[in-house]
Amino acid sequence: MNQNNGMSLIVKTITRLLVGFILLYGIYIVLHGHISPGGGFAGGFIIALSYILLMLAFGKEEILRKVPQPMISFLESLGALMFLTIAVLGFFGGYFFSNWLPKGIPFKLLSAGTIPISNVALALLEVSLGLFGIFLVLVLLKFTPPKKEK
């Protein structure tokens, strides 16, 4: 790891300790979205914050080497497509967006049919990567405009 990138050693060490917990908390909020307050959007936001913290502490080069920008856009589109696919599967089961999986027992983790899956698609891919992508674009200012060609 290049010591010159990012912030000081103290920040890096603390970040390394904390970021796992933040990520875990985000995943917890997402997975319990259907039985407790929170859900896809809130959890996705926390996950995005953990990525952003990593980037602030270690510098953008370090992160971009591990997760290149095209991959972020790809996964984000995949998340949106997954969410739509779940809704369309409901369309074939009767109604658009209908909850076609067995509902299970209320307040158990594995219950509520398609809602946890939609939450995961929304949070892990769409919201978290979308927000991270926006942050990345703002940070990079690596402006590659679609140029006019005459």
Partner 1 sequence: MQFIPLLVILPLGAAFFISLAGKNKNKLCDIFSVIITFFLFALSLFFVFTTHNYTGALVYKVGGWGMPGGITLVLDGLSIFMLTIVNFIAFMVNIFSVNYMNRFSAKDKFYALFMLMVGGMNGVVITGDIFNLFVFYEIASIASYALVAFGTEKEELEASLKYTIIGVVGSLCILLAIAFLYAYTSTLNMANIASAIAQNGINSVIAFVSVLFIAGFGIKSAIVPFHAWLPDAHPAAPAPISAMLSGIFIKSLGIYTLCRIFYNVFGMNSGISQLFMFLGALSIIVGGLLALGQNDIKRLLGYSSVSQVGYIILGLGIGSPLAITGALLHLFNHSAFKSLLFLNSGAIEYATGTRDLEKLGGLRTKMPTTSATSLAASMSISGIPPFAGFFSKLLIIAACIKSGYVGYGILAIVGAILTISYILKFQKYTFFGQLKEINKNIREVPIFMKSSMIALSIICIFGAVLMMPKIADYFLKPAQESLTRGMKYSDLVTQALYEK
Rounded distance, CA 93 to CA 136, Å?
39
Q: Contact 51/69 with Cβ under 8 angstroms?
A: no
Q: Give yes or no for residue 92 binding partner 1 (CB under 8 A).
A: no
Of residues 10 and 106, the one with the C-beta less far from partner 1: 106
Of residues 57 and 82, the one with the C-beta less far from partner 1: 82
Rounded distance, CA 98 to CA 88, Å?
9
Rounded distance, CA 73 to CA 60, Å?
17
Rounded distance, CA 112 to CA 58, Å?
40
Eight-state DSSP code of residue 105? S
Of residues 52 and 78, the one with the C-beta less far from partner 1: 78
Of residues 14 and 71, the one with the C-beta less far from partner 1: 71
- Minimum distance of partner 1 from residue 56's CB (angstroms): 27
Q: Give yes or no for residue 150 binding partner 1 (CB under 8 A).
A: yes
- Minimum distance of partner 1 from residue 74's CB (angstroms): 7
Q: Give yes or no for residue 65 binding partner 1 (CB under 8 A).
A: no
Rounded distance, CA 130 to CA 17, Å?
25
Considering only residues 115 to 144 of the shown chain, the ones binding partner 1 according to CB under 8 A are none
16-24, 45-53, 77-85, 116-124 -> range binding partner 1 (CB under 8 A): 77-85
Q: Contact 56/69 with Cβ under 8 angstroms?
A: no
Q: Give yes or no for residue 87 binding partner 1 (CB under 8 A).
A: yes
φ and ψ of 137, to 5 deg: -65, -40
Interface residue list for partner 1 (CB under 8 A): 73-74, 77-78, 80-81, 84, 87-88, 90-91, 94-99, 145-150
